[in-house]
Structures are given as structure tokens and as C-alpha cells.
Amino acid sequence: MKKQKFTYEKSGVNINAADNFVKFISNISSKNKGKKKYGNIGGFGSISDIPNKFKKPQIVSCTDGVGTKIEIANTLSKYDTIGIDLVAMSVNDLIVQGAKPLLFLDYISINKIDLKKLKSIIQGIVKGCKISDCELVGGETAEMPGTYEKGKFDLAGFAVGVVDKKKILDKKNIMKNDLVLAIPSSGVHSNGYSLVRYVLKKKKINLKNNQFLKKELLRPTKIYVKEVLNLINNNLINGCANITGGGLAGNIKRVIPDGMAADINLNKIKTKKIFRWLKKNNIEDEEMLKTFNCGVGFCLIVNPKNLNKITKFFTKEFKPYVIGKIILGKNKVKLNGKIDWS
């Protein structure tokens, strides 16, 4: 009787498919490399230069994922935008410290390699890197049969940036009477999707048949890198906050110095149709504010004299507007008024 041969492929891992995917990424990266010296894709580690324009360079690093927004992509079989989200979630954190994104790596873990799906995700990652002017230098794709259900996968991103020591956005720069500005979000971004999916399930909404939700729930996260770095380079902001999980109050308080507070007027917030739709589904205001960005994707803390200069760096869609100011206080963030959901 012939002995059965055990192979890695029979266990569910296809090395050839993984190699073909690496070749695909290498081709994309070489087309976008420009004048970069090193070809990092396919090696054991990536090599990158630190730009010599920084006198005292400080390295800043971030990591994040896109959460259960992945399940919306799976439901709609549309994967070309979540790569942008993946980049956005890390690089928007980097700029809070004043850092310019330099490089990005991804980690994709999946039940079984699906080249069409993975190529679509990577193309989004490359687009996100291009928008944020950083280089995709490498990553990892792990085929993990038995760990994920059929068709399931997860994403993680890792970004590294650099900031000159004198340009770091430190809490000590924030002063009493500074203004708090809201930069509009592009939509839900990549937070709160477990609640979104819960609403869809309870309301028995067929996402594939709802054109509004199909568009809105996979709308990619706005990348604020270009605009915010321009403001930093022109010494126009004292601090900023990326509004992600935890909402407005949960994220602003992370950058407010002790003894001060951000006094936020919720009446000033310009929300969006997708959040008005969510609010109509029996979600309390407090829950909306701690789960979603509610239309505010990023906040700037600025000297009032710089307000008119700042707005010139933004398109009409993402033009910042005043929602509060810095006052003396112990609670870090004070929310006053109520968002108009009408």
C-alpha cells in the first residue's frame, strides 16, 4: 500500500501563491519607488534612509488596523479602499506628534490566499502611501488555515515617521484661549463598525441593495498628512488630535496639558448624512459621540491669530472651523450643547 505523502500545500498553505503575491507587490513597489536606493520587498528586512534635512531627527512609530470594516468589504466583495484606511489609521496618528511619515509595512493574515482579493487590498495600500508621501517598504502575508473561516482575513499596518526635535508638537505648546478647530471627516472612517454592523443585523438591512450605505460604509478614511504637515512647517498649530476610537472627547483629552481643558460647543459640529442615519437607529447622543467621529475627523489647536492663515491650506470639503477653545480646568474636555442631527 502506497504511503500518503504529507505536504504543506495539503495542510492548506500554498507557497507558490504567496510567492506570486510577493512578485506582484515587488512590481508595484518598483514602479512607485522613484529615487529610493533600496528595493526592500522580498528581503528579510527593509532598509531606508533618514532624510538629512532633520538636524535632530526623532523617530515616531504607530500601528493600527481597520477593525470590522473588513466585514463590510467582505459582504460587498469590494477591497480596493480598505488599504487606504489601513494607511490612514497609522499616518494620521504620526502627524499628531508632528512627524512626517517615511515608511509603511502591512500584515495580512488570511484563511487561504486569494490573489485577486489581496492584489486589490495592496493597490489601496499603495494609494494610501502615495497620498501620505511615504514608502511601502515591506510586510507579511500569512496563510493561516484553521484560524480564520473561509474568506476571512485581518489587516494590520505599521508606520514610521520622523520629526525634528524642535518641531515636536508637545502639550506644553497649548495655551489658554487657543482655538479648537474641527477638520471634517470623509465619513465613518474606520471606527465603530461593530455597532454599524449590529444596526444592519437588527434592522435586517440588505447592504448589497442599499446604494447609499454601500457607498458610505466603504468610503475611505481621509488622510490629513499633507495639510497638517504644511501647517506644522509654517508654525501655525500648537497641537492636534486624530479623532478615532473613543470619539471627540476621548481623543482630544490625550493632547491637553494638565490644568487646562478643551471647551467644546457641540452645536457647532457639522455632521454628515451617514451619522444622521445612524442616529435615527435608536443610538443615544452619548453613544454616538464616544463611538463615531460624528463628522469631525481631526482637530487642530491653534492661536486665534493664525485662524485665517490655516483655512487657506484646505479644500472647501475639508476646511477647518471653530468648535471650541482652551480654558483653565481639570476635566480635560468639556462638551456643551448638542449636535443638530436634523
Question: Half-sphere exposure of 26 toward its Cβ, with a 13 Å CA cutoff?
Answer: 12
Residue range 188-214, pLDDT digits in tens: 999 999 999 999 999 999 999 999 999
Spatial CA neighbour of 318 closest among 126, 182, 205:
182
The radius of gyration computed from the CA coordinates of the chain, to the nearest angstrom, equals 22
Q: Round to whole Å and give the CA distance between 291 and 169.
A: 26
Q: Would you state the pLDDT for residue 285?
A: 96
Structural domains in the chain, sorted by start: 15-40+56-167 (3.30.1330.10), 171-187+222-336 (3.90.650.10)
Residue range 251-269, pLDDT digits in tens: 999 999 999 999 999 999 9
Position 39 pLDDT exceeds 70: no
Residue range 222-251, pLDDT digits in tens: 999 999 999 999 999 999 999 999 999 999
Q: Would you state the pLDDT for residue 12?
A: 60
Q: Would you state the pLDDT for residue 38?
A: 47
Q: Would you state the pLDDT for residue 148?
A: 87
Q: Would you state the pLDDT for residue 20?
A: 60
Q: Would you state the pLDDT for residue 92?
A: 98
Position 155 pLDDT exceeds 80: yes
Three-class HEC string of the chain = CCCCCCCCCCCCCCHHHHHHHHHHHHHHHHHHCCCCCCCCCCCCCCCCCCCCCCCCEEEEEEEECCCCHHHHHHHHCCCCCHHHHHHHHHHHHHHHHCCEEEEEEEEEEECCCCHHHHHHHHHHHHHHHHHCCCEEEEEEEEECECCECCCCEEEEEEEEEEEEHHHCCCHHHCCCCCEEEEEECCCCCCCCHHHHHHHHHHCCCCHHHCHHHHHHHCCCCCCCHHHHHHHHHCCCCCEEEECCCCHHHHHHHHHCCCCEEEEEEHHHCCCCHHHHHHHCCCCCHHHHHHHCCCCEEEEEEECHHHHHHHHCCCCHHHCCEEEEEEEECCCEEEEECCCCCC
Q: Round to whole Å and give the CA distance between 28 and 129.
A: 12
Instruction: Work out the pLDDT band at 49, boundaries 50, 70, 90.
Output: confident
Contacts of 310 (CB under 8 A, 6+ apart): 181, 231, 236, 237, 300, 302, 320
Residue range 307-332, pLDDT digits in tens: 999 999 999 999 999 999 999 998 88
**What does pLDDT average to over the chain?**
90
Position 143 pLDDT exceeds 50: yes
